[in-house]
Copies of this chain bind each other. A is one copy, B any other.
């Protein structure tokens, strides 16, 4: 039997959670936020190049989901995956260095912003083909099942990815094969400039998932506690052998799709409205209102985050580029497996 958690509303004001944990969540989201604000700056300085997709506004999703995972669980991110990577516990040094294209980066600098990998952390990218990681995640879940591993695979993707055939094929396979996988749809309302109403005839993504027989529902993706709670319940259900689930997280990106976006497709009002519901702002307000976060503490957290970011920049700046003579390293494996 699949656990139906769609009815249990997890209100930030009602949930009983350890305050230390909530502060931890707050700090994780802040790390991502400040890191990316800095990335935007570094992009204009041309330290970071290529495509840079910021996660700003969506931090509650990655941070909430990752709380439900164990180290041996696997994660597949999108090209908007700095948040996934940092929340998953990749070192900020390596992530920053990757964006600088340095050999100390998580993918030797070869992948850049869109292809952050860290197999030690079971973090499988960073995939820049929209919906391209879904079949991979299904396959990894299949391997886990075949090897009787109790691990969960989590696969992130945007609501835009839902229109791709790979979404359809992957959900069907996952359900047919009863796989231990959690699909996480980051529904931020737009695929580049394409609003959900233009990309999906059924705009409730969780309903689409239900049509494959998956347990699925939608949560407020701006509420980190709600995301964590839903993800935990789904992960438990998956570990119990109840098969695949999909969690739709309703969220919003505050910045453009990438650094090139002029955002003609949406109104400033709409952006402002969502900003007022920002996941960090919201949690901060709640902590403050409940006297759980003093001004000093906030400064301390901000300082710690700033220090970590500065350190990451120093690390990245100081790191060497990959030698051109190593260009062919890893096109093929060197020995037999």
Q: Tell me whether chain A's interface is mostly helix, strand or loop, or mixed.
A: helix
Indicate if A163 sits at the interface (CB-CB under 8 A): yes
For A200, the chain B residues whose CB sits under 8 A away are 172, 176
Copies in the complex: 2
Indicate if A4 sits at the interface (CB-CB under 8 A): no
For A198, the chain B residues whose CB sits under 8 A away are 176
Is the beta-carbon distance between B211 and A207 smaller than 8 angstroms?
A: yes
For A164, the chain B residues whose CB sits under 8 A away are 165, 169
For A165, the chain B residues whose CB sits under 8 A away are 164-166, 168-169
Q: Nearest chain-B residue to A167 (Cβ)? A: B168
For A175, the chain B residues whose CB sits under 8 A away are 201
A211→B163 CA distance, assembly (Å): 13
Give the shortest distance, in Å, between A256 (CB) and chain B (any CB).
24
The 8 Å CB contact of A168, one of B168, B176, B199, B207, is B168
Q: Nearest chain-B residue to A201 (Cβ)? A: B175
The 8 Å CB contact of A202, one of B199, B207, B211, is B211
Indicate if A212 sits at the interface (CB-CB under 8 A): yes
Indicate if A145 sits at the interface (CB-CB under 8 A): no
The proximity string for A residues 190-230 relative to B, scoring 1 for CB distances below 8 Å and 0 otherwise, is 00000000111110000110111100000000000000000
The 8 Å CB contact of A213, one of B166, B176, B199, B202, is B202
For A172, the chain B residues whose CB sits under 8 A away are 163, 200-201
For A163, the chain B residues whose CB sits under 8 A away are 168-169, 172
Residues of A within 8 A of B (CB): 163-169, 171-172, 175-176, 198-202, 207-208, 210-213
Given A163-B169, A165-B166, A165-B169, 5 new contacts (CB under 8 A)? A168-B169, A176-B200, A201-B212, A201-B213, A208-B211
- Would you give 26 A-B contacts (Cβ < 8 Å), ordered by A? A163-B168, A163-B172, A165-B165, A165-B166, A165-B168, A165-B169, A167-B168, A168-B168, A168-B169, A171-B201, A172-B200, A172-B201, A175-B201, A176-B198, A176-B199, A176-B200, A176-B201, A201-B212, A201-B213, A202-B211, A202-B212, A202-B213, A207-B211, A208-B211, A210-B211, A211-B211
